[in-house]
Amino acid sequence: MEDILEVEGKPSVEEISENAPQKKEETLEEMLSRHRKEISQLQNKEMALKKAAAKGSKAEQKAKKKQVEEEISHLSAKLKEKHEEELAFAGCSSTNRREKGDLDSLVKAVAGVSVTNRVDKSKPSKSVQRREKRAQQEAAREQRIQEEQRNIVSERATENEKLERKLEPLGLAINEIKPDGHCLYRAVEDQLALHTGGSSPYTYQQLREMTATYMRNHAPDFLPFFLSENMGDAQSNNTPAERFENYCREVESTAAWGGQLELGALTHCLRKHIMIFSGSFPDVEMGNEYKSEGGNGLSNSTIMLSYHRHAFGLGEHYNSVVPNSLE
């Protein structure tokens, strides 16, 4: 199973967690930028490992997926610790050296708590104080991001495990969709291609345009829900109708993430029953009027999606759900 942990063209475990390139004299801004890049590399590695694990028998795939989850969790924790240590050094003066393994002292230093006495007792200038304060605030912020990232990895693993247990008895599996803001429409496009046995009759962009057009033409059905979900825009000078129109423009011409409103429009545009599986929330059905029961309770033309609350550190995400024989 070791072969699934090596993916051509992707950074290795050591490259991500230990040997990331560092400049000899690295500013705090450069360090934070590198940290973000290393987190992104780890997310890309996770996707690559998942694709590599989706091969072999059902039992082999399950074992490989578990190994991937464990490996990513380990790498995430290791990367977090490495970043914390680097940030701690950046938050200390040149005379403040840490004892080996004294991570608590480093964390206090990042938070702006003195861990040793300064050799220079003179009061720093206001400009120096401001720079130090900004550095400490940025370092503390970076630590919070790292902690959130570690929590997301753990929550994602739990969510994926629950979803797998739900789909496996149905003979279903996840087909990963690119997380680029178009995931809902790309997932629907993938399902339509599955139904036709070839290519989808609509691209993800055409699905966006169809969704926006349907919402405009049936504004009374969507406007109350739109307003309830966008209470924060109530102070806008635009009328509710104008705000809704701006929202529809975003649906058809940007990478704005799609949700329940868009799913409601799609089910009527396509005249399809839509089933959304989730490991975090109860499953949702839409468009029951278009449902034609099959032997397993799902129609052959049902669009099956999975909703992920904790995906890739990016938040909400949709994937396509397919028969496990096609995974």
Verify that 156 and 266 share a domain, yes or no: no
Would the pLDDT of 251 be above 90? Answer: yes
Q: Choose the weakest-confidence range: 26-30, 45-49, 123-127, 299-303.
A: 123-127
In this structure, are 101 and 184 located in the same domain? Answer: no
State mean pLDDT over 56-68. 77
What's the number of domains the chain is made of? 2
Whether residues 93 and 229 fall in one domain: no
| Residue predicted with more confidence, 133 or 102 | 133
Nearest 5°: phi and psi at 80? Answer: -60, -45
The domain boundary, picked from 145, 167, 189, lies at 167
- Give the whole-angstrom CA distance, residue 202 versus residue 250: 19
Same domain, 241 and 151: no
Work out the pLDDT band at 110, boundaries 50, 70, 90: very low
Q: Assess whether 35 carries a catalytic annotation.
A: no
Q: Is the pLDDT of residue 153 over 60?
A: no
User: Which structural domain, as residue segments, surrounds residue 244?
Assistant: 172-326
- In this predicted model, which residue has the larger pLDDT, 23 or 284? 284
Q: Which of 83, 182, 273, 317 is catalytic?
A: 317
Q: Annotated catalytic, 183?
A: yes
- Tell whether 125 and 144 lie within a shared domain: yes
271 or 312: which leads in pLDDT = 271
pTM of the model: 0.56
Residue 141 has pLDDT above 50, yes or no: yes
Give me Rg for the CA atoms of the chain.
Answer: 24
Same domain, 82 and 18: yes
Find the mean pLDDT for residues 163-187: 93
The pLDDT tens digits of the residues spanning 74-98 come to 888 888 888 888 887 776 433 343 4
What average pLDDT does this structure show over 283-288? Answer: 94
CATH value at residue 206: 3.90.70.80
H or E element in which residue 148 lies: helix 126-167
* pLDDT recorded at residue 132: 77
Quote the CA–CA distance of 26 and 33 in Å, as a whole number: 11
Q: What secondary structure does DSSP assign to 52-92, as a single string? A: HHS-S-HHHHHHHHHHHHHHHHHHHHHHHHHHHHHHHHHHS
If asked whether residues 229 and 292 sit together in one domain, one would say yes
- Tell me what percent of the residues of the chain surpass a pLDDT of 70: 72
Domain end marker among 121, 148, 167: 167
Residues 46, 18, single domain; the answer is yes
pLDDT value of position 120? 45
**Residue 187 and residue 127 share a domain:** no
CA 274 from chain centre, in angstroms, equals 23
Q: Domain check: are 56 and 119 in the same one?
A: yes
Same domain, 128 and 190: no
Question: Which residue has better confidence, 38 or 220?
Answer: 220
The residue from 102, 180, 218, 283 that is catalytic is: 180
Which one from 92, 183, 248, 269 is the annotated catalytic residue? 183
The question of whether 102 is a catalytic residue gets the answer no
- Same domain for 46 and 139, yes or no, is yes
State which of 136, 167, 198 marks the end of a domain.
167
Residue from 213, 214, 216, 188 nearest 272 by CA: 188
